[in-house]
Structure 1
Amino acid sequence: MSDPKTAFAQALASLRGRLPDVSDEAVARRASAVVLPSGRRVAVNARRLGEWVGGQSVPRDFDAVLAVALATGGVPGLNTLRDLWRAARQDRRATPKSGRVVVGRPPTDAAALCDRTELADAVDAALRADDVRQVLLTGPGGVGKSQLATAAFHRARADVLVWVGARTRQSVLTGYARAWRALVKAEAGADDEAQADLFLAWLRSTGTSWLIVLDDVDDPAELAGLWPVGDAGRTLVTTQRRDASLLRPDVRMIPVGTFAPDEATSYLSARLSVDPRHDPDELAALADALGCFPLALSQAAAFLIDTGTDVPAYLDLLADRRQRVADLFPPSSPGDEHVDTVAGSVRLAAERAESLAANAVEVLGLVSVLAPDGIPEAVLLDGGRNLLALRALHRLNLVTHHGRVEAHALVQRAARDLVPDLSAVAVAAADAIEREWAMADPDTAAALYRNVEVLRSVAGEHLWAGAMHPVLRRLGQYLSGIGRTAASRDVASELLARAVEPRDVVVLRTQVAKAIGDLGDTTTALVHFNEIRTAAERDLGPTDLDTLWARLYQSSYRMESGQIETALAELTSLVAACDLPAAHPLLVAAEDDRVLCMGLSGDITGARDAATALVTVLREELGPRHKQTLRVLVGLGRWIGETGDARAAVATYQEAVDGLEAVAGRVYHDTFIARHNLAYWRAVAGDLQQAITEFETAAADAELGLGASHPTTLTYRSNLAFWRGVAGDPEAAGHLATLRRSVEAVFGPDHPRVLRIRQQRAELLHRAGRRAEAVDELREVLSEMARVQGANHPRTREAAVLLAGWESSPPA
């Protein structure tokens, strides 16, 4: 055989050709999974497979050839194939071209090559598609676009393969000129631009198959007139850009992002296998800390090897916000032939974005201190003034902007290093969030909360210039509003430890005390509010809004403690003292609590009428579907029911549920409160089975929104068990006993929820005919209620009336 290497390549191509519709990646995976007759498995790389079949190289181990043969259907002539392989291995002549023209030098394999199978398959499928002429690999700098393109280049079967570095127009002209000279075997020295024109004309007219890779296109406009066109070939482009000029009907865009967590850990494990000091169990934490960013993984591994640093020490460096990205990923430890470092890639992309929009770097600064996983676009747009800047960052893959804005945390950290005054950026970001929060819907409010938390973590010290930035008071309010009462207490306590301004102290103490009360300790909450009101009136003045809020909560917890008449008088005085618009949240809350006190004091008709008047005002001022209107409607439903019209109460609650679900969602705190109350009044109205279904829904929604051990969730679960018992479930009393133990484990035996469960269980025992046991249980519960809640608390009075009725009625 005059050409052993060509003969071997043809034989291997014949085997490979038995699976024409299967990608090299898939064939390589099959071959790697084959158990050879010797019991071995060998790793077959798709890129190498392409080189073997194309005659560019010969495998060193015949077992790799055998694995490919078995993976493609078996070996028709094993000895013949082995002889061809041996002859090719022994042939010392240069590998022949086999009629193919290969020009350019792709990057070498990464030190620990990661097969990104889904992406590789997507590239291969796009290159085969009839309606695709150009495949665009786009993503941030350093995510492995060039490595994917290199693998595709080596797998390609085209007769002409050209790799061109495309950062500048001149580099593209030079690459095309080289390709033309290789085609026509011309000498160097002629004009590059003229030869490039000849090459482009040849691509347009030839019937010879070709693949052109344009690697790292920096500015699409610079390549005007240089884009390859021709029916016989395809172009593969890698770039950070995603400009409109690149996105045409015949272009298939394939976004390239970070590694999956298991890919990142596998990469580190393989790359650091040369350094046995590192504990494999620590690599997943390192991958997570680096956000699975390929270039960062590569540079970090090189840094660990070069400096002798271990993984825990490097993780400490990463956690230290004082460390600059340029120092964590220095150019002295480069990553797999990548021309830039992590910091350098971000800086160059930011400069290019600034050439598209003058304030792009300013907007990138805002992005750098906010949540990587979702910034509401309104926070950055500033009424539309920053739209071009935001889109410039998107075009350069520094952010992704589709309604919300996302950015990789490492890109954000590198961007922060570009900010000359982080304090000004942090305050500007906080101002923007505060501006948007006032009218935010529930989903947006959740995103804004997340953004403030991130802002606190990366630049929180800059939000205390003399006084606390107003956006920080939103945190406890938001958590309280969605029912995360313990979290509200904790964040307010954390902020309170730093507060020095009297207003900040009053606001945060109010949030802490309210959370304590909402968690069931109304006595302690009332003690706090007595102190807070005194301090607020002294430091802020008796008519200051924050003072008035403290008065409102003081009155509310007096009511919760059973001081109904005192609370009613105080709330009446507060409403009269509020010189506020009719729909102001403070005035509405005060009037709503005053209505509740009226009802609890026995004036049920007065409560119903006052609630009706309040709903009427809010419908006129805010509209019937405003959340505040619907929240007050929930209170009205109770007093309609208490006056004896359970059916009308059901209709009122149904209106509230429908409205809240439409404007705030099913898992919104007020929505499941309204649904739970609807279930109660539906049960009272006699529709017990439908009521139980709604109790089930309310309990499930509360658990989803608040967690299984939240007091509201436990309340709904106990009420569900109770009404199931009323409906005849013999296991209900046992469920309540089990639930009591769960509540006691979380909140202690004196929590009001525990006492309520014990009362409900006593009622079910009484219904089941176990009268003596029920009376003893309720008598003991009543004593505990009087001690914990006070004799005048509504629940205590309710239990006393129930017990008196049982004791006065003769045994059945």
Structure 2
Amino acid sequence: MLAKLPHQVGVFPPRARSFQERAEADRLRTAVDGGGTAVLGQVLTGLGGVGKTQLAADHARHAWDAGEIDVLVWVTASSRTAIVTAYAQAGAELLGTDPGDPDQASSMFLAWLGSKPYRWLIVLDDLADPADIRGLWPPDVPHGRTLVTTRRRDAALTGAGRHLVQIGVFTPDQAASYLGAALPPRHGTEDADELALLAAELAYLPLALSQAAAYLADQGMSVAAYRRVLADRTHTLAEAVPEPDALPDDQTLTLAAVWSLSVEHADKLRPEGLARLMLHLTSVLDPNGIPESALTSPSALAYLDEQRTNTGTPSTSEQAFGALRALHRMNLIDHTPDGILPSVRVHQLVQRVSRESLGPGDRERSVAAAADALAAIWPGIERDPDLTQILRSNAQIVASVEGLTLVARGIHQVLFTLGASLGNGGQVQAATDHFRDLAEAANGHLGPDHPDTLTARYGLAHWRGEAGDLAGAALATAELLTDQMRVLGPDHPATFTTRHNLARWHGYAGNPAGAAQAAAELLTDRTRVLGPDHPDTFTTRYDLARWHGYAGNPAGAAQETAELLTDRTRVLGPDHPDTLATRHNLAFWRGEAGDPASAAAGFAELLTDRTRVQGPDHPRTLVTRSNLARWRGEAGDPAGAAAGFAELLT
């Protein structure tokens, strides 16, 4: 006997506890394309665990209960065989076809969908591979709708009237609301801030929230205690969710298991065998944005080659790019190769699961490779503020994952670069704190006389002074100089640099004549050892001119600075920060020597170049604007000076 309409084939999952109404559900119910035409095929794609199946089930349930459809078929589309079998079952129930010949029965069912005016909805849940649905798509007819959920976002899933719908995580309010409703009543007294913090630490992922709530209920644990477990790196994420047989809402897989399937699929995509390794590399960097150039750099390629097996040819940047695309197609990362700054984003729990799949040695190797990649692409002149910020964030993250890896065998260059970048970008207190931590770690793991420990101490003293602690900087620099003379010798470049800074702090503390004398002695030694065109020799000349000016000879300072500018431009180029700094001082000393008009003109020209090279919001650009306004006033234009200061204040 044939089934009567309306008829349902297959069983969709029950509504999850504490199901959250989401904007995506409303969009599914009212889906139209750009021209206002109803969308008949929608593909819900997203990271495993974002709730695609629940959204599809909610949509199907709503349409069925509202009497909007005559035939509803729910297909668990984990394989081509599963799809054919479900179609054959629908054909048997609705048409009386022979289920013993599933291919024939499924073909007849699809033909029937296109020929009969019945209203139908076919849901293909958890499609694993676009190839599995080839030749099995329901027909594109006005009275039918197709809804697919999948972790894939291949181009093959779109076209023929089908639209890709990206499903993301909960909003912070939805996540907090979910936890508040899903947790047992005794948690109702939990601090709302604790719930919000837990939701953020789980990065608002629906599956993670549901499994965390079940774990809390089973263990009778407070939210604050659970957050401590999550933060404790001796516990894995798998230990902070229920056992597989105790998962909520008829779930069958833990978070780690859900994503391991996606990684396996990604690793089989071309270039085969690289996606998993690339995910390991992304797992130790900033989830909010990783420069694509780091992940395709020679350092990244060396890591991929080191970790790969059974390959005789080195990896290429094109293959590394292909691995990113494979991970993107599986929704394990978000890769935007065509943006202003091509980058990669990764959910922080995906990162954690990936890191926890590595042994200590492999994790250390991934951290070292990531640090190498960042150091390799970090520009000597930070012209792009967005790139600079993303590099700093990534360096801070990689240092926090396995920081000892980047210190125990010698401080990695990226940590020195990070500290200098923070300070040179105007974050002098952050630079001070960074070098203090670095010096303490180096002292403990490398010893007090290791060259890297001494370098970290130099950075700490330098940025203490830049932060305003002149006395502390002078004392720390003098102590460092004593140790460097003993360990490195008097002619070592690092010893010279410390002598330079010691003179500098004395000058800032009110003894410019003494600072000038120390700089003159240092210039003699640097010229003898390093040569006249070495950047460090230039730095000493720069400071010597400055201390002459502060000691009462601004005209002489201007002359010395002009000579230095000629040499720095020749050796370093016109856009180098040191060249720009020399132009700044030249304009300043000309003004102090009694030529304010020349000073104003010099600062006006410098402002144009600093804005172009360092950006309009760079601290040194702002300082240049301040000097320009000042010297305009000194040159007889107080109204222009006032206007310049008013704009700068904003």
Scaled to the shorter chain, the TM-score interval is 0.7 to 0.9
Residues 509 and 532 of structure 1 are in contact (CA less than 8 Å); yes or no, is this contact kept in structure 2?
Answer: yes
Paired position in structure 2 for 1:473: 416
Paired position in structure 2 for 1:112: 18
Question: For residue 637 of structure 1, what is the amino acid of its counterpart?
Answer: A
Residue 580 of structure 1: CA displacement? 5.2
Question: For residue 429 of structure 1, what is the amino acid of its counterpart?
Answer: A
| 1:243 equivalenced with 2:154 (yes/no) | yes
Residues 75 and 123 of structure 2 are in contact (CA less than 8 Å); yes or no, is this contact kept in structure 1?
Answer: yes
| 1:123 equivalenced with 2:28 (yes/no) | yes
Q: Of 290, 312, 324, which aligns to 2:224?
A: 312
| 1:533 equivalenced with 2:467 (yes/no) | no
Residues 679 and 695 of structure 1 are in contact (CA less than 8 Å); yes or no, is this contact kept in structure 2?
Answer: yes
Q: Of 254, 272, 297, which aligns to 2:209?
A: 297
Residue 547 of structure 1: CA displacement? 2.3
> Residues of 2 paired with 1:465 and 1:235: CA distance?
57
Q: Of 106, 131, 147, which aligns to 1:221?
A: 131
Per the alignment, in what secondary structure is the counterpart of residue 235 of structure 2?
A: coil
Please, what TM-score do these two structures have when normalized by structure 2?
A: 0.87
When residues 121 and 663 of structure 1 are mapped into structure 2, their CA distance, relative to the original with a 3 A threshold, is farther
> Residues of 2 paired with 1:475 and 1:313: CA distance?
34
> Residues of 1 paired with 2:599 and 2:373: CA distance?
42
Per the alignment, in what secondary structure is the counterpart of residue 442 of structure 2?
A: coil
Per the alignment, in what secondary structure is the counterpart of residue 114 of structure 1?
A: coil
1:1-21: per-residue Cα shift (whole Å, max 9, x none)?
xxxxxxxxxxxxxxxxxxxxx
> Residues of 2 paired with 1:583 and 1:445: CA distance?
29
Larger radius of gyration: 1
> Residues of 1 paired with 2:156 and 2:538: CA distance?
55
Q: Which runs of 5+ in 2 are unaligned?
A: 299-316, 337-341
Residue 344 of structure 1: CA displacement? 0.7
1:517-564: per-residue Cα shift (whole Å, max 9, x none)?
223332332222122122123212333332232122112112212332
Residue 170 of structure 1: CA displacement? 0.9
| 1:497 equivalenced with 2:440 (yes/no) | yes
Query: What's the % identity of the aligned pairs?
Result: 37
Paired position in structure 1 for 2:463: 515
Paired position in structure 2 for 1:803: none
Residues 517 and 557 of structure 1 are in contact (CA less than 8 Å); yes or no, is this contact kept in structure 2?
Answer: yes
Q: Of 231, 254, 257, which aligns to 2:141?
A: 231
> Residues of 1 paired with 2:610 and 2:248: CA distance?
53
When residues 673 and 275 of structure 1 are mapped into structure 2, their CA distance, relative to the original with a 3 A threshold, is same
Per the alignment, in what secondary structure is the counterpart of residue 388 of structure 2?
A: helix
| 1:287 equivalenced with 2:230 (yes/no) | no
Paired position in structure 2 for 1:399: 333
Q: Which aligned pairs between 1:647-796 and structure 2 lie closer than 5 A?
A: 647-700=597-650
When residues 204 and 514 of structure 1 are mapped into structure 2, their CA distance, relative to the original with a 3 A threshold, is same
> Residues of 2 paired with 1:613 and 1:213: CA distance?
77
Question: For residue 54 of structure 2, what is the amino acid of its counterpart?
Answer: Q
> Residues of 1 paired with 2:109 and 2:567: CA distance?
78
When residues 276 and 571 of structure 1 are mapped into structure 2, their CA distance, relative to the original with a 3 A threshold, is closer
What is the RMSD of the two structures over their aligned residues, measured on CA atoms? Answer: 2.4
Residue 362 of structure 1: CA displacement? 1.3
When residues 337 and 438 of structure 1 are mapped into structure 2, their CA distance, relative to the original with a 3 A threshold, is same
> Residues of 2 paired with 1:433 and 1:141: CA distance?
29
Paired position in structure 2 for 1:195: 105
> Residues of 1 paired with 2:631 and 2:159: CA distance?
60
Residue 585 of structure 1: CA displacement? 5.0
Paired position in structure 2 for 1:348: 261
Residue 646 of structure 1: CA displacement? 2.0
When residues 679 and 130 of structure 1 are mapped into structure 2, their CA distance, relative to the original with a 3 A threshold, is same
Q: Which aligned pairs between 1:146-295 and structure 2 lie closer than 5 A?
A: 146-156=53-63, 157-184=68-95, 186=96, 189-232=99-142, 233-248=144-159, 250-275=161-186, 279=190, 281=192, 282-295=194-207
Paired position in structure 1 for 2:519: 571
Q: Of 504, 524, 547, which aligns to 1:597?
A: 547
> Residues of 1 paired with 2:418 and 2:427: CA distance?
11
Please, what TM-score do these two structures have when normalized by structure 1?
A: 0.70
| 1:628 equivalenced with 2:541 (yes/no) | no
> Residues of 1 paired with 2:122 and 2:601: CA distance?
69
Residue 583 of structure 1: CA displacement? 7.4
Residues 97 and 105 of structure 2 are in contact (CA less than 8 Å); yes or no, is this contact kept in structure 1?
Answer: no
Residue 588 of structure 1: CA displacement? 4.0
Paired position in structure 2 for 1:424: 365
> Residues of 2 paired with 1:583 and 1:419: CA distance?
48
> Residues of 2 paired with 1:345 and 1:393: CA distance?
14
When residues 548 and 250 of structure 1 are mapped into structure 2, their CA distance, relative to the original with a 3 A threshold, is farther
> Residues of 1 paired with 2:372 and 2:187: CA distance?
50
> Residues of 1 paired with 2:51 and 2:248: CA distance?
11
Paired position in structure 2 for 1:381: 296
Instruction: Name which of structure 1's ranges 254-263 and 442-451 shifts more when overlaid on structure 2.
Output: 442-451
Paired position in structure 1 for 2:339: none
When residues 297 and 532 of structure 1 are mapped into structure 2, their CA distance, relative to the original with a 3 A threshold, is same
Question: For residue 522 of structure 1, what is the amino acid of its counterpart?
Answer: L
Residues 437 and 448 of structure 1 are in contact (CA less than 8 Å); yes or no, is this contact kept in structure 2?
Answer: yes
Question: For residue 462 of structure 2, what is the amino acid of its counterpart?
Answer: K
When residues 465 and 497 of structure 1 are mapped into structure 2, their CA distance, relative to the original with a 3 A threshold, is closer
> Residues of 2 paired with 1:202 and 1:572: CA distance?
94
When residues 570 and 208 of structure 1 are mapped into structure 2, their CA distance, relative to the original with a 3 A threshold, is same
1:460-497: per-residue Cα shift (whole Å, max 9, x none)?
12222332222222232122112222222222112211
> Residues of 2 paired with 1:234 and 1:278: CA distance?
45
> Residues of 1 paired with 2:184 and 2:504: CA distance?
64
Per the alignment, in what secondary structure is the counterpart of residue 287 of structure 2?
A: coil
Per the alignment, in what secondary structure is the counterpart of residue 8 of structure 2?
A: strand
Residues 160 and 210 of structure 1 are in contact (CA less than 8 Å); yes or no, is this contact kept in structure 2?
Answer: yes
Q: Which runs of 5+ in 1 are unaligned?
A: 1-95, 701-812
Per the alignment, in what secondary structure is the counterpart of residue 635 of structure 1?
A: helix
Residues 272 and 278 of structure 1 are in contact (CA less than 8 Å); yes or no, is this contact kept in structure 2?
Answer: no
Residue 98 of structure 1: CA displacement? 7.7
1:719-765: per-residue Cα shift (whole Å, max 9, x none)?
xxxxxxxxxxxxxxxxxxxxxxxxxxxxxxxxxxxxxxxxxxxxxxx
Paired position in structure 2 for 1:331: 244
Residue 151 of structure 1: CA displacement? 1.4
> Residues of 2 paired with 1:602 and 1:276: CA distance?
71
When residues 245 and 627 of structure 1 are mapped into structure 2, their CA distance, relative to the original with a 3 A threshold, is farther
Paired position in structure 1 for 2:307: none
Per the alignment, in what secondary structure is the counterpart of residue 178 of structure 2?
A: helix
Higher relative CO (Cα under 8 Å, sequence separation at least 6) belongs to 2
| 1:411 equivalenced with 2:361 (yes/no) | no
When residues 646 and 229 of structure 1 are mapped into structure 2, their CA distance, relative to the original with a 3 A threshold, is farther
Per the alignment, in what secondary structure is the counterpart of residue 142 of structure 1?
A: coil
When residues 580 and 286 of structure 1 are mapped into structure 2, their CA distance, relative to the original with a 3 A threshold, is same
Per the alignment, in what secondary structure is the counterpart of residue 161 of structure 1?
A: strand
Q: Of 449, 456, 469, which aligns to 2:392?
A: 449
Question: For residue 598 of structure 2, what is the amino acid of its counterpart?
Answer: A
Residue 317 of structure 1: CA displacement? 0.8
> Residues of 2 paired with 1:581 and 1:195: CA distance?
87
Per the alignment, in what secondary structure is the counterpart of residue 340 of structure 1?
A: coil
When residues 98 and 270 of structure 1 are mapped into structure 2, their CA distance, relative to the original with a 3 A threshold, is farther
Q: Of 371, 378, 397, which aligns to 1:437?
A: 378
Question: For residue 355 of structure 2, what is the amino acid of its counterpart?
Answer: R
| 1:99 equivalenced with 2:12 (yes/no) | no
Residues 449 and 475 of structure 1 are in contact (CA less than 8 Å); yes or no, is this contact kept in structure 2?
Answer: yes
Residue 125 of structure 1: CA displacement? 3.0
| 1:138 equivalenced with 2:45 (yes/no) | yes
1:195-247: per-residue Cα shift (whole Å, max 9, x none)?
12222233344443332221111111232222223222232111111122224
When residues 102 and 475 of structure 1 are mapped into structure 2, their CA distance, relative to the original with a 3 A threshold, is same
Instruction: Name which of structure 1's ranges 311-320 and 156-165 shifts more when overlaid on structure 2.
Output: 156-165
When residues 508 and 696 of structure 1 are mapped into structure 2, their CA distance, relative to the original with a 3 A threshold, is farther
Residue 270 of structure 1: CA displacement? 1.0
Residue 260 of structure 1: CA displacement? 1.0
Residues 70 and 119 of structure 2 are in contact (CA less than 8 Å); yes or no, is this contact kept in structure 1?
Answer: yes
